[in-house]
Copies of this chain bind each other. A is one copy, B any other.
């Protein structure tokens, strides 16, 4: 088995044309988990097909009527060899608003170093990086893999991995491995690789209000009946005021603030303040924080975000209507050791206590936060191989602001989690013109391959 850096890197480079073709095939399938008519089976089947091409056993496993989970493995390295588990997802966020895309979100468009399309970075581009690493290791090793490899590729990541935790719990043996390689990661604003050691949790919900039986004439009944839009506005206003403090009783009680080592690591993260402010065209951050305080606020603070709200007439012109119904979507980002079920229960109590028993909470799903010790030996291997591939000192990120189903991997499977990613800060995940840099794809694939090889070292 060759550990030669250059041979493996050349093999990754050689894998690029096939990877881009396959990435285009994946992006062409609009596997939007949030929409019930999306071709989720097709998205799963495509991933299984690409893994089978590489000698994997792969199957689509129905999960309680939800989009299937792709489980695949290639254990040809043998039981004395270590096993890596790749966690990825084939589902994507909705592409709307479509008019803000410069090209069709479901058609891979390559412009120089940049590949555009929904899922280009989140998460189909990461699947491509894994496939390139495998192609390179097979090519450099006479068609066999030096370590055992498992894949779990789900179809509900963008809708809070509704069924994954239970599925993992019921398939612990199947998923046994030495380490999980996470579905994202990549470089920061300065091109430095980030090794990510934790994720916030999330609770996603809808709020619904109905007052009158149907929309009415605001001039006729506007003085007499409650307005569903106002009820919802007042209820949401009671959850968080303009100072940003979440007003649900006990919300901050389980929060574990960053410790000294976390602060030290956060200090070392490069400053992306100016580029963030420029990217979003904002004069300052909330609370006017700067420096390490901004970095800490970005990830160590619980959030309450109104993701959407809708009621009444939103079309052109003046419709004088008293809305009967109103709806909002919210996410709460959770830091260790909050948990979503507790947050939802406290929110329901808060609404009742504040006179909003008429505001219904529909819990759409959630995830617990999870962290790995940044000093874990597997994290060290990930850091070391990143240093080799990227040619610079990686940054170690104790916690990131996004969420994912990391908790069952760490707690249920007991595996350390590492990141070998292809993302960059301009990738516009979840937004129009989502994109992936080919140079990042190559580096991320090389990092993946070298990390896999590093498992063979003591």
Contact = CB atoms under 8 A, between A and B. Distances in A.
Nearest to A240: B230
Interface string A267-289: 00000000010011110011000
Interface string A323-348: 10011110101000000000000000
A320 B194 CA distance: 23
A33 B315 CA distance: 12
Interface string A168-209: 000000000000000000000000000000001010100000
Interface string A23-46: 000000000011110000000000
Interface stretch (A102-110, A426-434, A447-455): A426-434
A401 B234 contact: no
Given A297-B224, A310-B310, A430-B217, A329 B319 contact: yes
Nearest to A219: B402
A237 B229 CA distance: 11
A297 B241 CA distance: 31
Contacts of A384: none
Contact of A200 (B219, B310, B318): B219
A403 interface: yes
B34 A319 contact: yes
Interface string A407-423: 00000000000000000
A318 B204 CA distance: 7
A394 to B, nearest CB: 20
Interface in A213-256: 213-227, 229-230, 233-234, 236-237, 240-242
Complex copy number for this chain: 2
A357 interface: no
Contact of A430 (B276, B297, B319): B319
B308 A229 contact: yes
B158 A318 contact: yes
A227 B94 CA distance: 20
A226 to B, nearest CB: 7
B276 A94 contact: no
A379 interface: no
Contact of A234 (B214, B241, B323): B241
A91 to B, nearest CB: 10
Given A214-B431, A309-B229, A315-B94, A401 B276 contact: no
Contact of A297 (B217, B223, B237, B355): B223
Contact of A333 (B223, B311, B319): B223
A223 to B, nearest CB: 5
A431 B320 CA distance: 10
Contacts of A403: 219, 320
Interface of A: 33-36, 93-94, 96-97, 100, 158-160, 200, 202, 204, 211-227, 229-230, 233-234, 236-237, 240-242, 276, 279-282, 285-286, 294, 297-299, 301, 303, 305-323, 326-329, 331, 333, 355, 364-365, 400-403, 429-432
